[in-house]
Amino acid sequence: MADDRLRLSVLGPLRAWRGTRQLDLGPTRQRALLAALVLRPGRTVSADELLDDVWGLEPPGTGRRVIPTYVFRLRKCLRATEDAPADAVIARGSSGYRFADTTAEVDAASMERLAAEAAAAERSGDLIAAVRAASAALDTFRGEPLTGLPGPFAEGHRLRLAERRIALQLDRAAWQLRLGRHREVVDELAALTGIHPHHEALAALLMRALHGAGRRADALAVYTTLRRRLVDDLGVEPGREPRRVHQAVLRGEDEALGVPVRWERKPRNELPADGGELAGREAELARLAEAGDPAVVTVVAVDGVPGAGKSALAVRAAHRLRSGHPDGCLFIDLYGHTEGHEPLRPDQALPRLLRAIGVDGAHTADVDELAASWRSATASLRLLLLLDNAKSAAQVRPLLPSGPGSRVLVTSRQRLTGLSADRRVSLDALEPEAAHGLLRRVVGADRVDDEPVAARELARLCGGLPLALRIAAARLQNRPTWTFGYLVARLADDERRLGELTAEDHGVEAALRLSYRQLPEGEQRTFRMLGLVPTPEFEPLAVAAILGCSAAEAERSLENLVDASLLLQPAGGRYRLHDLLGVYARRLASGEPHDVIAAARGRVLRLYAVAARLASDWGVHDPATGPSMADAPFADWTEATAWLDAVGGDLTEVVGYAARAGEADYVCWIAEGLVEYLIRQGRYEECRTGIGLALPLAEASTDRRMRAALRRGFGVAEGMQGRYESGRPWCEEALRISREVGDRHEEARALAMMGTLDSVTGEAERALAVLREANTLGRSLDDPYIVGMSIANTGMVHARMGRIEEARSFLEQGVVFAENINRPRPIAMALGSLGKFLLGLGEHGDAVPLLRRAARAAEESGDIDLNADCLSLWGAAESGLGNVETAVGLQRRAFGLLSEHTRPQLELAIRNRLAAGLFAAGDVAGAREQFRVVLARTEASGHHTERAWALAGVRAC
């Protein structure tokens, strides 16, 4: 709900608002009457008092009768709503009127509150907070208070508020002088002196400010001018305070003037040298160098993986910021992650920082006393402080200066979550182009251009890590006879790569080893075992399987590794090891006992096998081979599918991982289980690749079903992509093998798929015979999926043969079986087949609800092609009912689902249906365009039906 509180401003022209709407307060004297009430909050004011306040000695001819009239108008103007009570804002009592809105916001009250905060902060010794609050109080003034309002009351309060403003200005200036901000207040005080030439306290402050700013002669001139004005204009001498300040300036008595003692020193610049080119960090550099709030200390934290170039980036940013910090640029290495050094403690760092600004603060070892001395000494300074290589937020916090406008840059491998930072910048690997550019600059453009492919491969093997890239480039610099290709060959072996990326006393492996050793024992184990993850990106459940713990425990450990900058987080709940960190983790994992590695690998592979099995259409109807499903971490197919979706990436990486480990059973189980899941998403090539990796190991698998199942899966992938002729031989081979080994389930599946392929290639009689055999075998095995699939496809064969009643009967039976299976994809396929059949008969009214349900089920299943087909068929049925606008909308939704993975025949059919819908809607040009696309794509193909439809469409257009 919008804030509609009443707001009033008296510190300038009198104005009022309800929310953002400014109110019309009426004529001048009506406004003056409102001011007389507002500035007496809660007090009842009589009509006679109000007459005197507004008109003084010249009351109106109507006398006090004018007061109720003004009050009536003001009530009407100020109330929140038309039906609000009349006295909600201005109440009427027995003796007068009272401003009654206790929720109203009056700027004069806000000013007094802020002024009180400023005074309280000054009493507590927090001058910075006092100055900030006083500035906020002064910001409430918008000009001369009660501008233009007549009457004795307005005149008196105008003078009172003006004096309050001057007092606040003087207080703020005095506090700023105590902070050493002499130059900041000189201009403001000089301007005020011009307005108030006889104000002695103001002149005294100006003299102190000028003296503190090193302008002693100007300070003495202020006194001379003040004395002349007082004598000439008023006939009096200056009072005690300006005389005291004058004498102190003459004698140079800083303490008497309240001027902080400044040590005569040249501001130090301790920043390390800027190391030349900084590749690929322009955005991060701009963020570090952004302007900060001049009223506070700005803290910017930089974190990232070891070797990401955090220090180099911070040094470059510090050099850019140097000119804005005239009191010094300080640097200190906190040794948070340095081999052979203990992290620098605050009680060690603070004396060094104090000496750097000319203060001897080493008389105590107490951290709190040292930190207090540091804050006091820096309160008037605008410093740039670079704290490099921090270990923790606790190490950094005592080192923060207090001077407004100061900037602190902190670098750390850890994410310093306990540090209150204004900005955080996390560094990852360089983008490929930036990494390539770094090699060009360091090694030389000519050498890089001579071997561009090898140079890019070198950048990839270095993981885009600046430290690794610079070491590799240095090796090529120092060995002119080495080629990029030669160094790439040396780095290609994981066992040698980290050792090759070492130069003298520093290297990638040393940096990674130190970060690893600083981890708690639990996170060390997690990092080691991440060397066993099967995919470049992973999520907590997979890591939990490897560790043998709960997903929540795994996630906590992973998040700790993210904070330690040993793990990247590309998205919430998703994690990834930097390439070189992955090499290091795999090396550490290889040192684990063989039985530990085998058990961890088995657990994670079983997780993928179970998820793939549950997510498939066969689901729990699978034969009892493969890993046990008893304690699966997924309640049903939706959870398994959602997890596979979240895992993302190329799932054949898991199959390849299992193959490299020699886990023949898991290779086959995962590849076969993923067939249905991948096909639903149109990932046909990935499906074929996975099966291709598994087929050579099928003979070694203890699950004898796999030889036939994998071949049948390959045939399914081929057929679902429209490669019917090449799909059938795979199914025939699966049938042969299943009969050889007596696997009746695989025999039935192979027959059902063969019949499906025959039905769409025009082999009607053969299709009916094969499907009949599959149906009989499926019933004997009590497998509803095989029975339902064979019945539905039998119905489609009858439909193509013109056997309407047989087709209707079989298709309706197919829907019943699909609903008993209770999986969305079989339901969508069965409903879609029946709906398409009815559409062909012109029974559009009966087809629409079936196809609507089919589209929704297909969407739920995640089968993109099936969803597109059902939407398009639904659109065609709506068009048949004359619902042209609905039809075109559905066709456009279907068209939007097409991709490079869509089966060619399905794409052509959807384009034709879209064109027909557009034509019916009067968009002849759009229809013609789609028909022509179909013609172009069928010119050399065998899609005769779709081509004939498009030719007829073009003629109609």
pLDDT at 261: 43
Query: Does residue 834 register a pLDDT over 80?
Result: yes
**Cβ atoms 38, 106 nearer than 8 A:** yes
Residues 448-472: tens digit of each pLDDT: 999 999 999 999 999 888 889 989 9
pLDDT at 287: 93
d(CA 198, CA 234): 9
Residues 582-594: tens digit of each pLDDT: 999 999 999 999 9
Query: Does residue 763 register a pLDDT over 50?
Result: yes
**Cβ atoms 405, 381 nearer than 8 A:** no
Non-local (6+) Cβ contacts of 28 within 8 A are 148, 149, 150
Non-local (6+) Cβ contacts of 247 within 8 A are none
Please choose, from the candidates 608, 627, 719, 735, the residue with its C-alpha nearest in 3D space to the C-alpha of residue 674.
608
Separation of CA 876 from chain center: 42
Query: Does residue 1 register a pLDDT over 50?
Result: no
Please choose, from the candidates 473, 468, 476, the residue with its C-alpha nearest in 3D space to the C-alpha of residue 502.
468
Query: What is the pLDDT confidence band of residue 845, given thresholds at 50, 70 and 90?
Result: very high
d(CA 769, CA 764): 9
Residues 329-355: tens digit of each pLDDT: 999 999 998 877 889 999 999 999 988
pLDDT at 123: 86
d(CA 34, CA 196): 30
Non-local (6+) Cβ contacts of 415 within 8 A are 301, 303, 424, 426, 562, 563, 564, 565
Residues 360-389: tens digit of each pLDDT: 655 667 888 888 888 888 887 899 999 999
CA–CA distance from 247 to each of 240, 720, 912 (Å)?
Answer: 11, 100, 99
Query: What is the pLDDT confidence band of residue 185, given thresholds at 50, 70 and 90?
Result: confident
Q: Which residues pair with 306 in a beta bridge?
A: none
Mean local confidence (pLDDT), 903-921: 93
Mean local confidence (pLDDT), 397-413: 93
> Does residue 16 or residue 266 have the better pLDDT?
16
Please choose, from the candidates 163, 133, 118, 169, the residue with its C-alpha nearest in 3D space to the C-alpha of residue 145.
163
The torsion angle over the Cα atoms of residues 109, 110, 116 and 119, rounded to 10 degrees, is -140
Backbone angles phi, psi at 502, to 5 degrees: -135, 140
DSSP label at 269?
B
Residues for the chain: how many in total?
957
Write out the DSSP string of 697-720.
GTTT-S-TTHHHHHHHHHHHHHHH
Q: What is the percent of the chain with per-residue pLDDT over 90, rounded to a whole number?
A: 59
Query: What is the pLDDT confidence band of residue 622, given thresholds at 50, 70 and 90?
Result: low
pLDDT at 660: 94
DSSP label at 14?
-
**Cβ atoms 300, 408 nearer than 8 A:** yes
Query: Does residue 291 register a pLDDT over 80?
Result: yes
Mean local confidence (pLDDT), 92-121: 89
Query: Does residue 262 register a pLDDT over 50?
Result: no
Mean local confidence (pLDDT), 661-681: 93
Query: Does residue 265 register a pLDDT over 60?
Result: no
Supply the mean pLDDT for the chain.
89
The 3 state secondary structure assigned to 236-254 is: CCCCHHHHHHHHHHHHCCH
Write out the DSSP string of 864-902.
HHHHHHHHHHHHHHHHHTT-HHHHHHHHHHHHHT--TTS
Mean local confidence (pLDDT), 27-38: 93
Query: What is the pLDDT confidence band of residue 606, given thresholds at 50, 70 and 90?
Result: very high
Using DSSP's 3-state secondary structure scheme, residue 438 falls into helix
Residues 205-240: tens digit of each pLDDT: 999 888 887 788 888 998 999 899 988 888 899 999
pLDDT at 326: 87
pLDDT at 263: 43
In this structure, what token pair is assigned to residue 491? 């780095």
Residues 425-454: tens digit of each pLDDT: 999 889 999 999 889 988 889 999 999 999
Query: Does residue 17 register a pLDDT over 80?
Result: yes
Q: What is the percent of the chain with per-residue pLDDT over 70, rounded to a whole number?
A: 96
pLDDT at 364: 67
Query: Does residue 623 register a pLDDT over 80?
Result: no
Please choose, from the candidates 330, 311, 317, 340, the residue with its C-alpha nearest in 3D space to the C-alpha of residue 412.
311
Q: Which long-range contacts (CB under 8 A, 24 or more apart) does 635-642 make?
A: 637/823, 639/614, 640/610, 640/611, 640/612, 640/613, 640/614, 640/615, 641/615, 641/677, 641/862
pLDDT at 504: 66
Mean local confidence (pLDDT), 674-690: 92
Residue recorded with tokens 């700005």: 298
pLDDT at 361: 54
> Does residue 598 or residue 358 have the better pLDDT?
598
CA–CA distance from 932 to each of 888, 912, 946 (Å)?
Answer: 18, 10, 11
d(CA 172, CA 325): 23
Query: What is the pLDDT confidence band of residue 944, given thresholds at 50, 70 and 90?
Result: confident
Lowest-confidence segment of 252-256, 295-299, 322-326 by average pLDDT: 252-256
Mean local confidence (pLDDT), 686-699: 95
Query: Does residue 846 register a pLDDT over 90?
Result: yes
Residue recorded with tokens 């208070």: 145
Non-local (6+) Cβ contacts of 903 within 8 A are 720, 721, 722, 865
Mean local confidence (pLDDT), 539-560: 95
Mean local confidence (pLDDT), 818-829: 91
**Cβ atoms 404, 373 nearer than 8 A:** no
